[in-house]
Structure 1
Amino acid sequence: MNTATLGATAPVNPIPLKQDAAVIGLVGLAHGTSHFSHLLLAPLFPIFMRDFGLNYSDVGLLMTIFFVISGSGQAMAGFVVDRIGARPVLFAAISCFLLAALAASMVTGYMGLVLVAVLAGLGNAPFHPADFTILNQRVSAPRLGHAFSAHGLTGNLGWALAPAFLVGITALTDWRTAYHAAALLYVGVLALLFWQRDKLLTQVHVRHADAPKGSDLAFMKLPVVWWCFSFFLLSTMTLAVVQSFAPSILKAVHGVSVEAATFTISAYMLCGAFGMLVGGFVAAYTKQSDRVVALAMSAGAALLLVCATGWLGATGTMVALAATGFAVGVGGPSRDMMIKKATPKGATGRVYGTVYSGLDVGFAVSPLIFGGFMDRGWYALTLTGAAVALFISVYAALGVGRRTA
């Protein structure tokens, strides 16, 4: 096994665009559902704090529980995907989201919310190894860049939809009805995927009887896997800062209203989605994926540093933050191509599961570090720290490139 070996080989024969588009669309829908579920609880935290007498530490712990379970489960889910295929794992994951929504509609206190976080974390765990196994096996090689672009784009749209969906329905009726509606949404997605299940079938990794003991873990000895993991951890720390603290920073430093600050985060996500769309074309026609990622993350880090100075004022800072989303988004598809090149044959699920668990670790760790900065009023230092983490991720991306050349 060596790092130059590519992951699951895409089909060699020409495949009709319609067939590739169907697979990409189905996987994108599933991925959007996953990101929607990241925010299954967070948009309604103020209501839970009011109704159940909770504080910020209580609700913050719910997100930590979610990402710890998702991250640890993601690494293990990759082995399951390689053994039994991606399709049944994907169905089980969405079923967990359905159970989480139903449980959320019936909670009467904090422990009920903890159960929702656990179920949602279990559901989120298998998505990246399952998604990328399907894309790598079922989409033709010339269209993989666009497939990864659509995958990232739908994830951002899932993030954007969740607050509007849950808060909007809560405003019209109540929060329990909002979770009933979310459960119906999951039922619809699961039904569609089951109906089109033939497009999600993947080959399994057959373990030969004479295979050396521990061969399933051999990929963990490859340094390139941990370089990929480090890249995800560092780049996600930056995203967590923007999602969690940018509105508070804009309000404290520039006097921006809560509505305008929240809109800036939505703009960041939408610009990120557009960046991923553009990045799909870049990834399709560029072989040096690591350099594309490095340039995109460097541009994003530079923009964050400018935001940290406060020189641009309120409006300029909000525009620069949105532009940061676009810059980072452009590198998204090339990032996934970079990981594909680092994946040994037959280990797609395991490698993607391990590497993407860095995302969950970043989401779990970042608030603990930068939350302390925010408590002390170090707003500029918080943005600077996010920029530094993104700059270091550039070194990690180039390290991946050197080890897959």
Structure 2
Amino acid sequence: MATISFIGLSHGTSHFFHLLLAAPLFPFLAQAFSVSYTQLGLLMTVFFTVSAIVQAGAGFVVDRVGARPVLYFAISCFAVAAFSAAAAPVFWTLYASAALAGLGNGVFHPVNYSILNARVAKPRLGHAFSVHGITGNLGWAAAPVFLAGIAAATSWRHALAAAGCAALASLAVLFSQRRHLDDSALAAQRAAERQSQKAGESNALAFMANPAVWMCWTFFFFTTMAVGAIQSFAPTVATLEYGFSAELSSTIITVYMVVSALGMLLGGWVVARFDRYDGIIAVALAISALAAVLIAMKALAGLGLLLLLAVMGFGAGMAGPSRDMLIRAAATKGALGRVYGVVYSGLDVGLMVAPALFGWLLDHGHTNKIFAFVAVFQTLAILTAWRVGSRTAQAAPAAA
């Protein structure tokens, strides 16, 4: 339980820093530096571009040196990024801070999943993955309150400095509990893999020839396109299509994330009892996609939107633990870090692309089509998960 808790802290920290130089501080930064929201939005583009590139390669480092030192490096990057942003003399230096935060963010999934797979027994992995997802949502939920609250009470510089202190506090806790983060149980697999590479029997990129890895990447891309639409534009849809006030629209993402966390709890329970991960994902995302279609059709008026968003969040959250187990089943032994790194880079790419696509729809007056596209991407994710599950099931007897 200790390992699961401390990896939860790690994941919550990483999601908190997704929003370090994002929407919560945009009004304060716009006023301080007299810049446009397009320039501010580029901070997120820089963050996720660097994160995607780093994430794809971070697994190689994790498989070589182990997860724990990479974790400490990543949180140190967050601290330096926050303190450097707090001291920014001119706006363009914030891009460097965003890049440094992206560098730190890019390693968390290969690090966290390597440690969980090394230290948590398979019957408890579903529970571990659900806690992992929930704490990520809590990090997202905490950042706006923390950053905007301190910025409003004092200044945006104090808010960023406080975030740096929070990163140092997280680092201190994780370093003091380092015995719970030891992934040396995977050392034998890694050593065997390196020996095989030296003998010419395999190479470090061999896992990339596995079609299941790229199907998992595609699955992440599709699901994150859907999440990116909700995070970026659900409040706008609520205002323009459903007539919500600005205050009520601001609750949209909170409702989605809180109910998604509840879905993850149930998903962890379900995945511990059923091993057809693709089937669980299909049911969960089908529920979510149906709710998205009903939103696009404006089937329920007024507060009915909140109900449908809650259903969407619950379905997406329930799919989370099965998604992580599906990737684990598709991974090559000795290459867990590399597989998780490459696969999760699809998440960053989705978060980069989604704002551009759905922003274009908004700019051209297609507000009502946003949730229709969300349903399409979730349906594509279901089909992709089914293909991964089929390939994994076919490969299992051969491996045995």
TM over 0.5: yes
Q: Map 1:222-371; keep pairs closer than 5 Å.
A: 222-371=210-359
Q: Distance in 2 between matches of 1:168 and 1:245?
A: 23
Paired AA for residue 403 in structure 1 = R
Match of 1:181 in 2: 162
Match of 1:76 among 57, 65, 77: 57
Paired AA for residue 258 in structure 2 = L
Mapped contact 2:287–2:311 kept (Cα < 8 A): no
Paired AA for residue 136 in structure 1 = N
Deviation at 1:213, TM superposition (A): 7.7
Match of 1:110 in 2: 91
Asked if residue 133 in structure 1 is aligned to residue 114 in structure 2, the reply is yes
Paired AA for residue 142 in structure 1 = P
Match of 2:397 in 1: none
Deviation at 1:294, TM superposition (A): 1.3
Q: Distance in 1 between matches of 2:47 and 2:84?
A: 15
Paired AA for residue 180 in structure 1 = A
Provide the aligned length of Structure 1 versus Structure 2.
385
Asked if residue 64 in structure 1 is aligned to residue 45 in structure 2, the reply is yes
Paired AA for residue 82 in structure 1 = D
Instruction: Name the SS of the counterpart of 1:215 in structure 2.
Output: coil
Residue deviations 1:289-333 (CA, integer Å, cap 9, x gap): 111011111111110111111121121012211221111001100
Q: Distance in 1 between matches of 2:135 and 2:233?
A: 23
Match of 1:387 among 364, 372, 375: 375
Mapped contact 2:293–2:375 kept (Cα < 8 A): yes
Paired AA for residue 281 in structure 1 = W
Q: Distance in 1 between matches of 2:198 and 2:158?
A: 55
Choose 351-360 or 104-113, whichever is displaced more: 104-113
Instruction: Name the SS of the counterpart of 2:251 in structure 1.
Output: helix
RMSD: 1.1
Deviation at 1:56, TM superposition (A): 2.2
Highest relative contact order (Cα 8 Å, sep 6+), 1 or 2?
1
Instruction: Name the SS of the counterpart of 1:336 in structure 2.
Output: helix
Q: Map 1:12-27; keep pairs closer than 5 Å.
A: 21-27=1-7
Moved over 6 A (4+): none
Q: Distance in 1 between matches of 2:380 and 2:253?
A: 23
Deviation at 1:214, TM superposition (A): 6.3
Instruction: Name the SS of the counterpart of 1:224 in structure 2.
Output: helix
Match of 1:160 among 138, 141, 150: 141
Choose 209-218 or 169-178, whichever is displaced more: 209-218
Match of 1:396 in 2: 384
Paired AA for residue 70 in structure 1 = S
Stretches of structure 1 lacking an aligned partner (at least 5 in a row) = 1-20
Residue deviations 1:42-96 (CA, integer Å, cap 9, x gap): 1111211122122222112111111111011001000000000000000000000
Q: Distance in 1 between matches of 2:142 and 2:198?
A: 49
Paired AA for residue 316 in structure 2 = V
Choose 125-134 or 175-184, whichever is displaced more: 175-184
Task: Please report the TM-score for the alignment, with normalisation by the length of structure 2.
Answer: 0.94
Q: Distance in 1 between matches of 2:271 and 2:362?
A: 37
Match of 2:18 among 12, 17, 38: 38
Deviation at 1:110, TM superposition (A): 2.3
Q: Distance in 2 between matches of 1:65 and 1:353?
A: 19
Mapped contact 2:267–2:319 kept (Cα < 8 A): yes
Paired AA for residue 124 in structure 1 = N
Identity in percent: 49
